[in-house]
Structure 1
């Protein structure tokens, strides 16, 4: 049985393109693989706490020396990391806000990219002392944006701080393979937007087949 962690980051509950696409992905996945398990977290509606000075101090305190208060500060982080660890596939459905990720998604990332949990730090490795502890996962990014041209060599390539940021962080999520489904032109609301939505929906079944086939393969990274 495959475990899929689905993170919804849109602040909108209604008329959210990324939410609707994420729900469609889940429905079509379960149609193909009804025995699989989805772990769902709606951080758009219930954002994780931002990390604080006290949180950082707790992280860097040896586990056996932490106070009850410090353990309480890290309780949510522990749960989020456990959810991530269990997942074979991570689905992040999120809009682009101000050319980057929503604050709730950044808060989730900050809660789980944590020393001695999702990465280790060793200066004996030279200039690259950080090493992820998780691996073998598939990451699916389902994104929506108001403008267009954020792809490589696109008109707004240098303004895209959502996809590239998540790709940079993906290794700390344990992702060895990344797929993106993008909807553009939302603010224009024209035929290009309609075509972009249609293309996104059409890509979902094929992507699910590709991932499930790889998961079933003996050579799968998972």
Structure 2
């Protein structure tokens, strides 16, 4: 049975474009998969704690004794179970200081373990076969030729880390750029480009959500 795991990471509770876009995908996905499962995790409202040495040791070798709090293994198991159960994942990931929110990193630190990692040209791994959609939002543009070209450390990192656990075969990034154009006077001339980028993101997500 198809199942969607919906993750948000924006610290903004209202007015968040990444939340609006991920919700748009989830709404349309559920409309096209009426019998599908659905799980939601808000990584900003309910952040995953940073790993400690004891937690890291347990992730590397689950058979070892751990000094971690009793709730720690249960949380890690729940995060893994959510991901394993999903056939599709949508992650709303705004850019903060040129990279992912720290709350996405703490989630990654629990998910990327020896049990999930794959080797190049080796076994596809236990998480292979899922469709992953990453909605990225950024205040400016990092395209070639722009003043900050090459400063985007969000998408390259997520591509690499998701590839490391076998989630690169059906991975789509859907960006909405220039989101600050509506509020920063110096960027007002870029509003048409910002509106086009946002419209393209909605259109792409609508199409992706309709896939079987």
Structure-2 separation of matches of 1:130 and 1:68: 32
Equivalent residue number for residue 185 of structure 2: none
Pair 1:198–1:129, CA change in 2 (3 A): closer
Who is 2:100 aligned against? Answer: 101
Superposed, which structure 2 residues align to 1:19-168 within 5 Å?
19-63=19-63, 65-66=64-65, 69=68, 72-115=71-114, 117-119=115-117, 132-150=125-143, 153=144, 155=146, 156-168=148-160
Deviation digits for residues 144-163 of structure 1 (CA, Å, limit 9, x no counterpart)? 1000134xx45344111111
Tell which deviates more after alignment, 95-104 or 197-206: 197-206
* SS in structure 1 of the partner of residue 181 of structure 2: coil
8 A Cα contact 2:92 2:135, kept in partner: yes
Q: CA 1:138–1:154 in 2, change beyond 3 Å: closer, same or farther?
A: farther
Which 5+ residue runs of structure 1 have no aligned equivalent? 213-222
C-alpha distance in 2 between matches for 1:159 and 1:137? 29
- Report the aligned-residue RMSD: 2.4
Paired residue total: 202
Q: Which runs of 5+ in 2 are unaligned?
A: 183-190
2-side partners of 1:55 and 1:83: how far apart? 19
Rounded to whole Å, the distance in 1 between the matches of 2:172 and 2:137 is: 14
- Distance, in Å, in 1 between the alignment partners of 2:172 and 2:68 is 39
8 A contact 2:178–2:194 mirrored in 1: yes
SS in 2 for 1:181: strand
What is the rounded CA distance, in whole Å, between the counterparts of 2:33 and 2:79 in structure 1?
24
